[in-house]
Amino acid sequence: MFKDITMGQYFPGNTLIHRLDPRTKLVLTLLYIIVLFLAKGIWSYAVMLAFLSVCVILSRIKLSVLLSGAKPIVFIIIITGILNLFYTKGEHLLFRVWRISVYLEGLQTAGFLILRILLLICCTLLLTYTTSPLQLTDAMEALLNPLKKLRFPVHELSMMMSIALRFIPTLIKETDKIMSAQKARGADFETGSLRQRAKALLPLLIPLFVGAFRRADELATAMESRCYHGGEGRTKMKQLRMAAADWAALVSGAALTVAVVLLRRAG
Amino acid sequence: MNVIIKAENVDHWYGEDDNRTRALKDISLEIDEGSFVAVLGHNGSGKSTLAKHFNAILTPELGKIYVAGMDTSDKDLVIDIRRTVGMVFQNPDNQIVASVVEDDVAFGPENIGMEQSQIRPRVDAALMSVGMYEMREHAPHMLSGGQKQRVAIAGVIAMRPRCIVLDEPTAMLDPSGRREVINTIHRLNRDYGITIILITHHMNETVGADRLIVMSDGEIIADGSPKSVFTRVDMLRRAGLSVPDTTQLIYLLRQEGFDLPLDALTVDECAAAIYKKFA
């Protein structure tokens, strides 16, 4: 049941994209998403597509892998495509079947929209495929650091996230164990109506939660006895460091923004 | 010899007002620096409660505990006390914090604000001392129980403590994992002079200790070298404890009228004693 949960879907590697500072990647991804909504006209989309393509090629992530990650939203893509295709009115009528007319403008809007959604999905997937969840947590902590001045619990939040990530495999293992134990005593998780199956999960969830609380308690004691006392005065073994490649990546991101904004004016 | 931990008339209760149970009853003891002390007792004997007093997770309700001269009830000294006395717990899964082995070992040094350049060598040295250096980039959940427990020990070693308290570190491990852990702590004691306090209910693990303390019902009922303690087979039985297999064998032979020494603890000694008797 839980075998198909992949952890953050990280594909380890040692390419240029993998080695980039996670902060750079996070910032670039956010920037890319914003610029994606500024894009207008064929040329700006071409630039956006080219930029992401270069990143994908550099990361050596297979296109099929990337696209299969977009599978869950194929339905949404098709629906938005069809709606835009039929409901956009324009001047150049392409053809008319019964009461449905398709205009050239509709085809354009639908095409751009699908491309936009695909690019959106692919750029976020590229981030999670090439960055381990732990690095992402670190990057988030570093980027949110200024909020500490506003008493926002940045360190606590990232500690919680990294502990949650650490315990996912442990809890999955435990779930499997409890399921086997309940199955051995005749529990049935797979058949029956939705209501019955939901009810059957109760004897699974209760021991799981009790176990999780016990773990949390023990972990807190263990952390305390290793001198944990919050984020204050804490150092880090692995400091995030910006290399030349990171600055180059950020500059190219800025160039992308400028290019798209200019093309938007021109187009 | 230097005394690293000193308990003076320590009392501890569990529970609320009416149904309070006295977990520790007037415990006094001193532990020498560099020694290997095993604390033995069945469930509920107070041995884990006592262990938690040694690094200020619990503080005594009556009496005092001193760690290297520092009073554990002094809140300002807590961090220094925990740097001096490290603790390893029963369940390795519930004490590993990070998703990468070396990050977990670095957790302690990071907490005490050690300078970044110093952390890496410490982490590497700690991992080497428990023989886990090759696995430093692994995810903890991919390791065996014995390996996880050795990572937990490395996490404590990285703080360079003078004493390590291990609270039933082998209870959840298979026999080979148990051997890994016991061998590791013996080596740390021998090679680095780290004081070891091993809490356990496995007789056989106490055999190599310098000193054996037996607890029952919140009290210390025996304290001495393992040899001298194990010769008191009847007393151990009353405390709900069995004796090591070797002692058991000799005890039974003695009851049959064979004159054998009860203090032959290791398998070799036991075999030699029996051989001498019957040869």
Please tell me if residue A163 touches chain B, with a CB cutoff of 8 Å.
yes
Per-residue DSSP letter, B217: T
Residue in the structure block whose two tokens are 């008191």: B232
pLDDT > 70: what percent of chain B?
Answer: 100
How far B245 CA sits from the closest chain A CA (Å)? 33
Confidence check: pLDDT of A8 > 70: no
Lowest-confidence segment of A23-37, B84-98, B149-163, B223-237 by average pLDDT? B223-237
Closest residue in chain B to residue A236, using alpha carbons only: B110
Does A74 map to a domain? Answer: yes
Please tell me if residue B271 touches chain A, with a CB cutoff of 8 Å.
no
Closest CA to B235 of B258, B219, B257, B211: B219
Does B258 map to a domain? Answer: no
What pTM value is reported for the model?
0.80
Does B267 map to a domain? Answer: no
**How does pLDDT run across A105-162, given as a tens digit for each residue?**
888 888 888 899 889 988 988 888 888 887 888 888 888 888 888 888 888 888 888 8
Please tell me if residue B171 touches chain A, with a CB cutoff of 8 Å.
no
Confidence (pLDDT) at A6: 45
Given a contact cutoff of 8 angstroms between Cβ atoms, the answer to whether B23 and B189 are in contact is no
pLDDT band at A267 (very low <50, low <70, confident <90, very high): low
Residue in the structure block whose two tokens are 């491990």: B173
Closest residue in chain B to residue A224, using alpha carbons only: B57
Q: What is the dihedral of CA B50, B53, B58, B59, to 10 degrees?
A: 110
| Mutant choice from B111, B119, B137, B143 vs A, greatest count of A C-beta within 10 A | B111
Considering the domain architecture, whether residues A216 and A250 belong to the same structural domain is answered as: no
The CATH number of the domain holding residue B233 is: 3.40.50.300
Q: Which domain holds residue B30?
A: 3-243
Does A70 map to a domain? Answer: yes
Most confident of A252-266, B80-94, B227-241: B80-94
pLDDT band at A214 (very low <50, low <70, confident <90, very high): very high
Does B257 map to a domain? Answer: no
Cβ-Cβ contacts under 8 Å for A200 (sequence gap 6 or more): A187, A188, A189, A192
| Mutant choice from B93, B102, B127 vs A, greatest count of A C-beta within 10 A | B93
Work out the average pLDDT over A241-262: 88
Considering the domain architecture, whether residues A254 and A202 belong to the same structural domain is answered as: no
Structure tokens at A267: 């187009």
Considering the domain architecture, whether residues A112 and A60 belong to the same structural domain is answered as: yes
Considering the domain architecture, whether residues A116 and A181 belong to the same structural domain is answered as: no
Q: What span, in angstroms and rounded, lies between the C-alpha atoms of A127 and B254?
A: 72
Write the ipTM: 0.85
The 8 Å CB, 24+ separation contacts for A210-217 are A211/A174, A212/A167, A212/A171, A214/B94, A215/A167, A215/A170, A215/B91, A215/B93, A215/B94
Confidence check: pLDDT of B211 > 90: yes
pLDDT band at B205 (very low <50, low <70, confident <90, very high): confident
Q: Which of B93, B111, B139 sits opposite A226 (nearest CB)?
A: B111
Q: Which domain holds residue A260?
A: 16-131+242-266
Does B185 map to a domain? Answer: yes
Does A237 map to a domain? Answer: no
* DSSP three-state, residue B67: strand
Confidence (pLDDT) at A152: 85
Confidence (pLDDT) at A5: 44
Cβ-Cβ contacts under 8 Å for A21 (sequence gap 6 or more): A139, A240, A241, A242, A243, A246
Considering the domain architecture, whether residues A217 and A259 belong to the same structural domain is answered as: no
**Measured CA angle at A60 (ends A58, A62), to 5 deg:** 130
Q: What span, in angstroms and rounded, lies between the C-alpha atoms of B251 and B235?
A: 13
Please tell me if residue B95 touches chain A, with a CB cutoff of 8 Å.
yes
Confidence (pLDDT) at B32: 92
Please tell me if residue B107 touches chain A, with a CB cutoff of 8 Å.
yes
Confidence (pLDDT) at B156: 92
Q: What span, in angstroms and rounded, lies between the C-alpha atoms of A55 and A73?
A: 22
Q: What total number of domains does chain A contain?
A: 2
Considering the domain architecture, whether residues A123 and A166 belong to the same structural domain is answered as: no
Lowest-confidence segment of B48-52, B178-182, B200-204 by average pLDDT? B200-204
Does A137 map to a domain? Answer: no
Q: What are the C-alpha distances in Å from A215 to residues A56, A74, A148, A209? A: 40, 40, 29, 10
How far B57 CA sits from the closest chain A CA (Å)? 7
Confidence (pLDDT) at B37: 94
Q: Which of A169, A226, A227 sits opposite B141 (nearest CB)?
A: A169
User: Strand ranges (DSSP E) for B15-84?
Assistant: 21-32, 36-40, 62-67, 70-71
Given a contact cutoff of 8 angstroms between Cβ atoms, the answer to whether A115 and A45 are in contact is yes
User: Chain-centre distance of CA A18, in angstroms?
Assistant: 16
Considering the domain architecture, whether residues A124 and A248 belong to the same structural domain is answered as: yes
Q: What span, in angstroms and rounded, lies between the C-alpha atoms of B55 and B278?
A: 50
Given a contact cutoff of 8 angstroms between Cβ atoms, the answer to whether B224 and B214 are in contact is no
**How does pLDDT run across A10-50, given as a tens digit for each residue?**
777 788 888 888 899 999 999 999 999 888 888 888 889 99
Work out the average pLDDT over B86-109: 90
Considering the domain architecture, whether residues A178 and A218 belong to the same structural domain is answered as: yes
Confidence check: pLDDT of A1 > 50: no
Considering the domain architecture, whether residues A93 and A31 belong to the same structural domain is answered as: yes
Does A84 map to a domain? Answer: yes
Q: What span, in angstroms and rounded, lies between the C-alpha atoms of A221 and A25?
A: 36
**Measured CA angle at A122 (ends A120, A128), to 5 deg:** 110
How far B98 CA sits from the closest chain A CA (Å)? 6
Confidence check: pLDDT of A2 > 70: no
Higher pLDDT, B262 or A73: A73
Cβ-Cβ contacts under 8 Å for B254 (sequence gap 6 or more): B260, B262
Does B33 map to a domain? Answer: yes
CB contact under 8 A, B141 and A235: no
CB contact under 8 A, B99 and A134: yes
Considering the domain architecture, whether residues A20 and A127 belong to the same structural domain is answered as: yes
Cβ-Cβ contacts under 8 Å for A177 (sequence gap 6 or more): none
How far B266 CA sits from the closest chain A CA (Å)? 34
Q: What are the C-alpha distances in Å from B169 to residues B107, B158, B199? A: 20, 18, 8
pLDDT > 70: what percent of chain A?
Answer: 96
Does A122 map to a domain? Answer: yes
Closest CA to A32 of A125, A95, A105: A125
Does B263 map to a domain? Answer: no
Q: Residue B19: what are its φ and ψ, rounded to 5°? A: -105, 60
Q: What is the dihedral of CA A200, A204, A206, A210, to 10 degrees?
A: 180
pLDDT band at B123 (very low <50, low <70, confident <90, very high): very high
Work out the average pLDDT over A193-206: 85
Does A172 map to a domain? Answer: yes
Confidence (pLDDT) at A3: 44
Q: What total number of domains does chain B contain?
A: 1
Q: Which helix or strand (DSSP H or E) is residue B12 part of?
A: strand B3-14
Confidence (pLDDT) at A262: 87
Confidence check: pLDDT of A7 > 60: no
Chain B CB contacts of A219 below 8 Å: 94-95, 97
Considering the domain architecture, whether residues A29 and A127 belong to the same structural domain is answered as: yes
Does A78 map to a domain? Answer: yes
Confidence (pLDDT) at A202: 86
Confidence (pLDDT) at A140: 87
Considering the domain architecture, whether residues A25 and A67 belong to the same structural domain is answered as: yes
How far B276 CA sits from the closest chain A CA (Å)? 49
**How does pLDDT run across A143-153, given as a tens digit for each residue?**
888 888 888 88
